[in-house]
Amino acid sequence: MKHLSAQEIRQKIRDGEWTKPTAGLAQNNAQANLVILPKELAYDFLLFCQRNPKPCPLLEVTDVGSPIPYLTAPDADLRTDLPKYRIYEYGELIAEVTDITQYWRDDLVSFLIGCSFTFEQALLTNNLPVRHIQEGKNVPMYKTNISCQNAGVFHGNLVVSMRPFQPRDAIRAAQITSRFPSVHGAPVHMGNPKLIGIDNLDEVDFGEAVTLKENEIPVFWACGVTPQAVAMQSKPPFMITHAPGHMFITDQKDESYSIL
């Protein structure tokens, strides 16, 4: 799998031959979080993303009723090309499936939201150690006390991901991720977690805790879980998302999202 192209991997996923997480697949291709909402809620959600670009970097918003992401992968179908989906009604998980064709409706809008895999690739290329990858874990994520800007029915606090670095590497990591403003961009905080409402780094809200070594400082980035958590909180009558870690693989290279 590791040597297949994005198109080839999506074909295998479509054929039901791959239902596992997508981390490490089609390296150098951008992967995306998926949120699908009825048109009725799409304006408020689009506005929420516009007002909160750091946690909600939109790679693409599809036309109403169309499952085709024309800009990021024109031959893909969002109903079949992710390994696993979650279906929600009024904020409650009602099913986890590998194909959403039977759930599709003409009033649905799909939001593809950038993912930190993109800038992590750039960190690795720069020989910066990414702790959760080293430890074979999911990235640690925390709810903060930082309010997002409201938009219509959507409101909530920022969720951040955390990666520990030696101070010199933290500075370099800030430089590297600044090159990717459309995929979370520069960190939102570094150092004392209490300043953003995180009491204990060992108690994650999502993902898994990682080791913080001597002299390392925790570095926090806005996280793409934010829009999903915020959407969930508003308990929309109907919503589909990818299952955690089971992302959409686009045709776009990670580097195409760097502005420098």
The smaller minimum CB distance to a copy of itself, of residues 7 and 178, is found at: 178
The smaller minimum CB distance to a copy of itself, of residues 69 and 83, is found at: 69
CB of 43 to a copy of itself, least distance (A): 4
| Separation of alpha carbons 123 and 126, rounded Å | 5
CA 111 to chain centroid: 11
Compute CA distances 90 → 76, 94, 234, whole Å: 28, 10, 8
Which of 122, 124, 140 shows the shortest CA–CA distance to 179? 122
Element (H, E) at 240: strand 239-242
Query: Tokens 């895999």 appear where?
Result: 117
Residue ranges that bind a copy of itself, judged by CB under 8 A = 42-43, 46-47, 49-51, 53, 58, 60-61, 63, 71, 149, 152, 178, 181-182, 185-186, 259-260
The smaller minimum CB distance to a copy of itself, of residues 31 and 62, is found at: 62
The smaller minimum CB distance to a copy of itself, of residues 182 and 233, is found at: 182
CB of 72 to a copy of itself, least distance (A): 11
The smaller minimum CB distance to a copy of itself, of residues 17 and 63, is found at: 63
CB of 164 to a copy of itself, least distance (A): 24
- The token duo for 70 is 């024309």
CB of 259 to a copy of itself, least distance (A): 5
CB of 178 to a copy of itself, least distance (A): 6
Beta bridge mates, 36: 110, 240
Alpha-carbon Rg for the chain, nearest whole angstrom, is 18
The smaller minimum CB distance to a copy of itself, of residues 73 and 243, is found at: 73
CB of 159 to a copy of itself, least distance (A): 21
Which of 150, 144, 137 shows the shortest CA–CA distance to 188? 144
Cα torsion angle, 20, 161, 6, 73, sign:
positive
